[in-house]
Amino acid sequence: QVQLVESGGGLVQAGGSLRLSCAASKSISGITSMRWYRQAPGNQRELVATVNSLNTTTYADSAKGRFTISRDNVKNTLNLQMNSLKPEDTGVYFCAAYTYVGGSLSQYWGQGTQVTVSS
Protein backbone atom coordinates (compact mmCIF):
# COMPACT_ATOMS: atom_id res chain seq x y z
CA GLN A 1 0.00 0.00 0.00
CA VAL A 2 0.94 3.61 -0.53
CA GLN A 3 -0.15 6.43 1.75
CA LEU A 4 -0.44 9.81 0.11
CA VAL A 5 -0.54 13.15 1.89
CA GLU A 6 -1.27 16.38 0.05
CA SER A 7 -0.12 19.84 1.12
CA GLY A 8 0.19 23.33 -0.27
CA GLY A 9 -3.42 24.32 -0.60
CA GLY A 10 -4.73 27.64 0.58
CA LEU A 11 -6.47 30.88 -0.32
CA VAL A 12 -5.10 32.89 -3.21
CA GLN A 13 -6.35 35.75 -5.35
CA ALA A 14 -7.18 35.24 -8.99
CA GLY A 15 -4.03 35.41 -11.07
CA GLY A 16 -1.91 34.03 -8.26
CA SER A 17 -0.02 30.79 -7.96
CA LEU A 18 0.08 27.77 -5.68
CA ARG A 19 2.25 24.69 -5.60
CA LEU A 20 0.68 21.50 -4.36
CA SER A 21 2.71 18.56 -3.17
CA CYS A 22 1.79 14.98 -2.48
CA ALA A 23 4.16 12.96 -0.31
CA ALA A 24 4.15 9.21 -0.72
CA SER A 25 4.99 6.75 2.04
CA LYS A 26 7.16 4.63 -0.25
CA SER A 27 9.04 4.80 -3.50
CA ILE A 28 6.99 6.07 -6.42
CA SER A 29 9.50 5.14 -9.11
CA GLY A 30 7.54 2.03 -10.01
CA ILE A 31 4.10 3.60 -9.88
CA THR A 32 2.49 3.47 -13.30
CA SER A 33 0.50 6.68 -13.15
CA MET A 34 0.16 9.54 -10.71
CA ARG A 35 -2.65 12.05 -11.01
CA TRP A 36 -4.16 15.17 -9.59
CA TYR A 37 -7.93 15.43 -9.39
CA ARG A 38 -10.11 18.19 -8.06
CA GLN A 39 -13.64 18.38 -6.81
CA ALA A 40 -15.59 21.59 -6.58
CA PRO A 41 -18.63 21.80 -4.29
CA GLY A 42 -21.58 20.07 -5.90
CA ASN A 43 -19.49 18.74 -8.76
CA GLN A 44 -18.02 15.39 -9.60
CA ARG A 45 -14.33 14.77 -9.13
CA GLU A 46 -12.47 15.66 -12.31
CA LEU A 47 -9.05 14.72 -13.58
CA VAL A 48 -6.69 17.69 -13.76
CA ALA A 49 -3.31 16.22 -14.75
CA THR A 50 -1.48 12.93 -15.12
CA VAL A 51 2.17 11.91 -15.21
CA ASN A 52 3.19 8.35 -15.95
CA SER A 53 6.33 6.38 -15.16
CA LEU A 54 7.97 7.67 -18.36
CA ASN A 55 7.25 11.24 -17.28
CA THR A 56 4.69 11.71 -20.02
CA THR A 57 2.15 14.29 -18.91
CA THR A 58 -1.42 15.03 -19.88
CA TYR A 59 -3.71 17.84 -18.78
CA ALA A 60 -7.36 18.70 -18.74
CA ASP A 61 -8.15 21.46 -21.20
CA SER A 62 -8.84 23.78 -18.28
CA ALA A 63 -5.32 23.22 -16.93
CA LYS A 64 -3.28 23.37 -20.11
CA GLY A 65 -0.78 26.20 -20.22
CA ARG A 66 -1.33 27.09 -16.57
CA PHE A 67 -0.60 23.94 -14.53
CA THR A 68 2.49 21.76 -14.51
CA ILE A 69 2.55 18.28 -13.01
CA SER A 70 5.81 16.66 -12.03
CA ARG A 71 7.01 13.68 -10.05
CA ASP A 72 10.19 13.45 -8.03
CA ASN A 73 11.21 9.81 -7.75
CA VAL A 74 14.00 10.67 -5.30
CA LYS A 75 11.85 12.57 -2.83
CA ASN A 76 8.82 10.41 -3.61
CA THR A 77 6.59 13.38 -4.22
CA LEU A 78 4.07 14.44 -6.81
CA ASN A 79 3.75 18.16 -7.47
CA LEU A 80 1.33 20.46 -9.20
CA GLN A 81 2.44 23.99 -10.00
CA MET A 82 -0.63 26.10 -10.61
CA ASN A 83 -0.25 29.55 -12.17
CA SER A 84 -2.75 32.16 -13.34
CA LEU A 85 -5.35 30.72 -11.00
CA LYS A 86 -9.01 31.41 -11.62
CA PRO A 87 -11.99 31.25 -9.27
CA GLU A 88 -13.19 28.18 -11.15
CA ASP A 89 -10.03 26.37 -10.01
CA THR A 90 -11.47 26.34 -6.50
CA GLY A 91 -11.97 22.91 -5.00
CA VAL A 92 -10.40 20.10 -3.06
CA TYR A 93 -7.38 18.71 -4.86
CA PHE A 94 -6.55 15.05 -4.49
CA CYS A 95 -3.52 13.11 -5.59
CA ALA A 96 -3.85 9.52 -6.69
CA ALA A 97 -1.48 6.72 -7.53
CA TYR A 98 -2.29 3.89 -9.91
CA THR A 99 -0.02 0.89 -9.81
CA TYR A 100 -0.07 -2.81 -10.49
CA VAL A 101 -0.12 -5.04 -7.45
CA GLY A 102 -0.11 -8.76 -8.09
CA GLY A 103 -1.17 -8.20 -11.69
CA SER A 104 -4.15 -6.03 -10.79
CA LEU A 105 -4.31 -2.27 -11.05
CA SER A 106 -4.70 -0.71 -7.64
CA GLN A 107 -5.35 2.90 -6.82
CA TYR A 108 -4.49 4.94 -3.77
CA TRP A 109 -5.79 8.34 -2.77
CA GLY A 110 -4.79 11.14 -0.47
CA GLN A 111 -7.20 13.03 1.76
CA GLY A 112 -7.13 16.18 -0.33
CA THR A 113 -6.09 19.78 0.11
CA GLN A 114 -8.38 22.78 -0.26
CA VAL A 115 -7.65 25.41 -2.89
CA THR A 116 -9.72 28.58 -2.87
CA VAL A 117 -9.27 31.25 -5.50
CA SER A 118 -10.95 34.55 -4.80
CA SER A 119 -12.02 36.95 -7.52
Q: Look at residue 80 in the predicted model and tell me its pLDDT.
A: 98
For the stretch 69-77, contacts whose Cβ atoms lie closer than 8 Å and that sit 24 or more positions apart, written own/partner, are 69/34, 69/36, 71/28, 71/34, 73/27, 73/28, 73/29, 76/23, 76/24, 76/25, 76/26, 76/27, 76/28, 77/21, 77/22, 77/23, 77/24, 77/28
In this predicted structure, the answer to whether residue 102 has a pLDDT above a threshold of 90 is: no
Q: Look at residue 100 in the predicted model and tell me its pLDDT.
A: 86
- State the average pLDDT over residues 23-37: 94
Mean pLDDT in the chain? 96
In this predicted structure, the answer to whether residue 30 has a pLDDT above a threshold of 90 is: no
In this predicted structure, the answer to whether residue 1 has a pLDDT above a threshold of 90 is: no
Q: Look at residue 101 in the predicted model and tell me its pLDDT.
A: 81
